[in-house]
Structure 1
Amino acid sequence: MTIASYGEDIYQRFEYLDSDAAKALMKLIYSARNDGVWIVSVSAFRDVERQRLLFENQVERRGSIEAASKISAPPGYSEHHTGLTVDLADGRFPKQDITSQFENTDAFRWLQKNAEKFGFEMSFPAENKQGVMYEPWHWRFVGSENARAIFAKAKNLF
C-alpha cells in the first residue's frame, strides 16, 4: 500500500508498507498531527536490489563488510524487505532525517511516548542485542500476529 512520496523530480520515490502497517502508520501520523507534531515517512519497503546498492555504498564508505553491517543490513536481511518497517522523520527538521539528531525532535519524543499504541516499536535502540547502530528513526510494526512472528527472533536474540 502506498504511504508516502519522498523527494522531488528525478529524486522522487514512492514508499510502500504492508496494508496493516500502513493503516496503523496513518493513524499514528494523524494522531501526532492532532498533538502538533509532524511525522513523515522517508523510507519504507525496499527490494533486495535497492538494499544491495545501499549496502555496497556503506562498504565503500566504511571499508569492510563487517563495518558496513553495523550501519546497514546486507541485501536479503533488511527489516525493510518485510514491508513492516519505516524510517520516520520530523517534518519540521528534514535535514535531520536518518541521523542521530532525530532523537532531539518533537517527532521522536512523541514516538517514544505513543508509537506502541499504534503497534510500532523502535527496531534498534541504543545498545540493542543485535549490535546494530542506534537508529532512532527506524520503527517496525509489531501490531499484528504476523508482524510479531516475523520479528520475534530479532527481539529474542541472546
Structure 2
Amino acid sequence: MVNETLQRLETPDEQSLARLHEGLSLPEMHECLGIPPDYAEITGLIFFAEPESLAIVGEDCFGRLLRLEPTAREAWEEMRSAAAGDGVDLLPVSGFRSHYYQADLLRRKIRDGRALSELLTVNAAPGYSEHHSGRALDITTVDTPPLQIQFEETGAFAWLQKNAAQFQFSLSYPKERSGIISYEPWHWCFNQ
C-alpha cells in the first residue's frame, strides 16, 4: 500500500525545484518536491525537530564537518573507542542533516534523473529523517564503500550488532523491518 501510493508520485518540475531555498517552510519544501501532505500518515515515519544544540565531532569520511547532538556525540566517541580497542575501525559517513539539507539532497538526486518514488525508499522527506535529530549516524569502515549493502559483511557491522546497544545505538532499518525505508545496515541511531 505504501509503495503503491509513493509509486504514483510525480517527479517535480524544474520550476518547483528552483523554489527550494532556506526561506521556505517545511510544508512549502514538501510541496516543491512533490511530497504529499499526508506523507507521515502514508509512511508511518515520525517528525524530527532539529536539536537546539550540536557538538562538533570532527570530519566524516568525505572530509565534511560532522556534528551530532551532544549526548549522541559522547556515546559515539565511546563506542568508536571501544570498537578501536577491539581492532575495528568505525568511520562516520554522515551525522546531523538540517531539513534544508535533506530537501537539497532530494533536489540534487531528482535533477540527476532519479524518480521521487524511488528516492523516498532510501531518503526520508525533509523533517522525517533521523539525521535531523542529530542522533543518527551512517557508518562505514576502511575498504568498504559508504552506504552500500556489503557493509553487512564487514567485521564492523558484526561488532555493531554485538555491541552497539551497550552504547544505546540501534540499527534503524533492519532487514526484517517493514516500512518505507529500505534496509540500511550502515544507519545507526542513538536512543537516549
TM-score, structure 1 as length reference: 0.80
Map of 2:173 onto structure 1: 124
Matched, 1:46 2:97: yes
Higher RCO, 1 vs 2 (CA within 8 Å, ≥6 residues apart): 2
More helix by share: 1
Matched, 1:3 2:54: no
SS in 1 for 2:171: strand
Q: Distance in 1 between matches of 2:150 and 2:118?
A: 21
SS in 2 for 1:42: strand
SS in 2 for 1:110: helix
**Identity across matched positions, percent:** 35
Alignment counterpart, residue 56 of structure 1, candidates 92, 99, 107: 107
Map of 2:147 onto structure 1: 98
SS in 2 for 1:46: coil
Range 57-66 or range 46-55, more displaced:
57-66
Map of 2:190 onto structure 1: 141
Q: Distance in 1 between matches of 2:117 and 2:84?
A: 39
Task: Report which of the two structures shows the higher radius of gyration computed on alpha carbons.
Answer: 2
Map of 1:66 onto structure 2: 117
Q: Distance in 2 between matches of 1:125 and 1:41?
A: 19
Map of 2:130 onto structure 1: 79
Q: Distance in 1 between matches of 2:185 and 2:109?
A: 19
Q: Which runs of 5+ in 2 are unaligned?
A: 1-54
AA of the residue aligned to 1:102: F
Q: Distance in 2 between matches of 1:89 and 1:39?
A: 6
The runs of 4+ residues in structure 1 deviating greater than 4 Å are 60-63
Partner deviation per Cα, 1:91-143 (whole Å, 9 max, x = no partner)? x22x421111111111111001000000000010114232311100000011x
Q: Distance in 1 between matches of 2:176 and 2:122?
A: 13
1:50: how far off? Answer: 1.3
State the Cα RMSD in Å: 1.7
* Residue-pair matches, total: 138
In 2 relative to 1, CA 59–45 (structure 1 residues): closer, same or farther, beyond 3 Å? Answer: same
1:42: how far off? Answer: 1.4
Q: Distance in 1 between matches of 2:139 and 2:66?
A: 12
